[in-house]
Structure 1
Amino acid sequence: MSLSPSVPVLRRALGDDLKALQDLARRTIDASYRWFLGDEGVDRFLDSGASDDHIETHFRQGHVRCMEVDGDLVGLLILEGPTVDLMMIDVRRHRQGWGRILLAHAEETLFTQYDELRLESFAGNLTANAFYEACGWQETGSLESKGPAKIEFVRHRVVIEGLRPATRGGSPEVPRYGA
């Protein structure tokens, strides 16, 4: 008997997802941010409720998407304008390829409306920053921040010369030469 690979489900967050999304973020921040923000910084941030508030605000605005794998909520994504505002994979599911899938989903969604996408990251979060670069994002520099140093990444939509947008049939029109 062979095991079939898990297939992620990407969807908008539903009413009963809010607490699970907040728990996922708190658990991931607690486990993954201490080495570059320090224990005191992480504890202060989590105790302030800022993470929960940020997710709830965007949740109420309809900006939050979820990734489920085998019925488990494993990722969250907040998209606002051309910005990937927040992307997290549950710390218990890191290094399984779900982050690449979630980021690709964000790009696919935003590139339907924008030619340039952006995201911010903590400068000290070397793991996340290496991930973004490996996925084709380019660091553009430091951002002003009241707290820990942040950097910005951008990604541009690739346009292939001579390829027209998709027709109603769904396939792109390729120009004919010499016809």
Structure 2
Amino acid sequence: MTFSKGGQTAPGQPGRWWRVTGGVETITVRAPRADDRWPLVDVHVRARRSYYEGYLPEEELADWERAIRATGYDFTRPGRVWLCADLDGGPVGFALVTPDGELLQLQVDPAHWGRGVGHALHEAALAELRGLGLTTARLDVFAGNERARAFYTAHGWREVGRTDEAPAHVRMARDLHL
């Protein structure tokens, strides 16, 4: 896969985009638009269900889903950088980072797993953090989400601890100069 960068030069500014090409597919990572709000909620609901089902009670999953569907996402909230991945003509994933180096979200619609969307979002998120002058990044990942943990490990992250919250999460960190 080839990773290229374009658009504006200030991290987190609208118009900034990344393009990842490999084989016959092109994934574009860009700042989300207002009309991405509900499609990205749908992506998050499907992705979250894929890794929490069997670990969290259905009632808890349904409560979270109702809450997020009632509010959606605010892409303009200060202190957060949102990234949206497009493939096949629409949003299929998103990432969310903070200026202090936390990868808060990296969600891909399960129907698009294995197509490079997670990789594209990951690379763009790290580019954002590097653009802020950061040298390390951190994240928490659900301990039962073996797929995500393997993805992060393959992308240079290392386990540095665990949370005490329920459900348990693994804390991971990564040098941004790898």
Tell me the TM-score range normalised by the shorter chain.
0.7 to 0.9
Q: Give the secondary structure class of the aligned counterpart of 1:104.
A: helix
Matches within 5 A, 1:30-179: 30-47=49-66, 49-50=67-68, 53=71, 56-57=73-74, 59-61=75-77, 63-81=81-99, 82-112=101-131, 113-145=133-165, 147-158=166-177
Q: Which runs of 5+ in 1 are unaligned?
A: 160-179
Q: Quote how far apart the aligned CAs of 1:38 are.
A: 4.4
Alpha carbons 1:120, 1:151 under 8 Å: kept: yes
Higher relative contact order (CA 8 A, sep 6+): 2
Structure 1 residues 96-143: Cα deviation after superposition (integer angstroms, max 9, x where no partner): 221112111111221222001011111111111111111110010112
Where 1:7 maps in the other structure, the secondary structure is strand
Secondary structure in 1 aligned to 2:114?
Answer: coil
- What is the root-mean-square deviation of aligned Cα atoms in Å? 2.1
Q: Which amino acid aligns with 1:105?
A: A
Aligned partner of 1:39: which letter?
E
Amino acid at match of 2:115: Q
Structure having the higher strand fraction is: 2
Q: Report % sequence identity.
A: 26
Runs of 5+ consecutive residues of structure 2 not aligned to the other structure: 1-22
1:123-172 deviation line (CA, Å, top 9, x unaligned): 11111111111111001011232x3111111101337xxxxxxxxxxxxx
**Residue 106 of structure 2: SS of its match in structure 1?**
strand
TM-score by length of 2: 0.76
Task: Please give the secondary structure, in 1, of the residue aligned with 2:43.
Answer: helix
What is the one-letter code of the residue matched to 1:71?
A: G
Q: Which has the higher helix share?
A: 1
User: What does residue range 11-26 of structure 1 map to in structure 2 within 5 Å?
Assistant: 11-26=30-45
Deviations 1:13-68 (A, max 9, x none): 11111111111111222233203334343223223x15765x624x1316221000
For 2:89 and 2:152, the matched residues in 1 are separated by 27
Aligned residues: 152
Go from structure 1 to structure 2 and tell me whether the alpha carbon gap of 1:98 and 1:52 turns closer, same or farther (over 3 Å shift).
Answer: farther
Query: Residues 156 and 12 from structure 1, CA distance in 2 versus in 1: closer, same or farther, beyond 3 angstroms?
Result: same
